[in-house]
Amino acid sequence: MSTQEQKAPGDSVPEDDLAPGEEGQGGAVLRGVRGYLIGLVLATVLTAASFWAAGTGAIYGPGVPVALIALAVAQMGVHLVFFLHVTTGPDNTNNVLALAFGVLIVALVLVGSLWIMAHLDHNIMPMDEMMRMQR
């Protein structure tokens, strides 16, 4: 083995996958703290932006919910990456695939419920009309 191939200490390549919540190449306290600090700052900025967007009149009314949902999704992403350490790295494939499946089911439950209930609501007979028919 030539000297070129020897790795510097602390430069080790993880042999296994990473568990959810586990940071790659742990050890360095500074790096860990820095990651959480970046996450905290980003989350704070996004939260402040959400509260601002809800209260301000600067955004076109019907656009406010869209802005709020976009900000919320962004913040969930920040939490996943910086707090839960779910990344797109090859050592995280299993965690991300499970997450993707979870997100699929969550989306089906939400969109499906809202869609079906909106249709039912639209097609159902109003209560007073129903009363009149029963007479």
Report the nearest approach of another protein to the CB of residue 134 (Å).
22
Count the residues of the shown chain that bind another protein, applying the rule CB under 8 A: 58
C-beta separation of 85 from 22 below 8 A: yes
Between 76 and 131, name the residue whose CB sits nearer to another protein: 76
C-beta separation of 59 from 87 below 8 A: no
Is 49 a binder of another protein (CB under 8 A)?
A: no
Is 47 a binder of another protein (CB under 8 A)?
A: yes
Report the nearest approach of another protein to the CB of residue 105 (Å).
5
Segments in the chain forming alpha helices (H): 29-55, 63-78, 93-123, 127-134
Report the nearest approach of another protein to the CB of residue 39 (Å).
8
C-beta separation of 86 from 35 below 8 A: no
Between 60 and 135, name the residue whose CB sits nearer to another protein: 60
Q: Using CB atoms within 10 Å of the CB of residue 82, give its burial: 0 to 12 exposed, 13 to 18 middle, 19+ buried.
A: buried
DSSP-assigned letter for residue 9: T
Is 123 a binder of another protein (CB under 8 A)?
A: no
Give the sign of the dihedral formed by CA 117, CA 123, CA 125, CA 127. positive
Residues at the site binding another protein, with contacts judged by CB under 8 A: 1, 5-7, 13-14, 16-23, 26-27, 29, 32-33, 36, 39-40, 43-44, 47, 50-51, 53-55, 64-65, 68-69, 71-72, 75-76, 79-80, 83-84, 90-91, 94-95, 98-99, 101-102, 105-106, 109-110, 112-114, 117
